[in-house]
Amino acid sequence: MRRRSRHREAIQDTLRSAVGPLSATDLHERLADSGIGLATVYRLLNEGLEDGDLVTVGLPGGPKRFEPADKPHHHHFECVACHKVFDVMGCPGGMDRLVPEGFTLEQHEVILSGRCDACA
Ligand SMILES: [Zn+2]
Ligand SMILES: [Zn+2]
């Protein structure tokens, strides 16, 4: 496995302490003080994906966002006003009830949307 660079650690720490998944440009803005370039952010995110430290979160119409791979099962809330995405802990469960007879459910995503407390 590759040696983790200081910038790679900074990305991992930022994602770990964020309220939800972040895009490459979000990370670039938050790490502006460290002088890390956007191209480097992309490269390190790809390394993180390859090494299994990170996973992507796809939200319809939004940029690809990233989060640490080892977070416990959770879902996401997207604010329709500021477009921030927040982790929502917990799961309604029982998704297999929705699956047609004879199908096997392997995974699910739940995306809530509305306004965050700052935008409400
Ligand atoms: Zn908001
Ligand atoms: Zn769930």
Give the total number of structural domains in the chain.
Answer: 2
For every residue of 44-89, which 3-state class applies, written as one string? HHHHHHHCCCEEEECCCCCCCEEEECCCCCEEEEEECCCCCEEEEE
Residue 62, pLDDT score? 87
CATH code assigned at 110: 3.30.1490
Query: How many angstroms does the Cα of residue 42 sit away from the middle of ligand 2?
Result: 28
- Confidence label for 3 from pLDDT (cuts 50, 70 and 90): low
Q: Does residue 86 sit in the same domain as residue 63?
A: no
Tell me which ligand sits closest to the C-alpha of residue 108. Answer: 2
Mean pLDDT (the chain, rounded) = 94
* pLDDT tens track for 100-113: 999 999 999 999 99
Within-domain flag for 1: no
Query: How many angstroms does the Cα of residue 115 sit away from the middle of ligand 1?
Result: 5
* Structural domain containing residue 87: 74-114
* pLDDT tens track for 37-79: 999 999 999 999 999 999 999 888 889 999 999 999 999 999 9
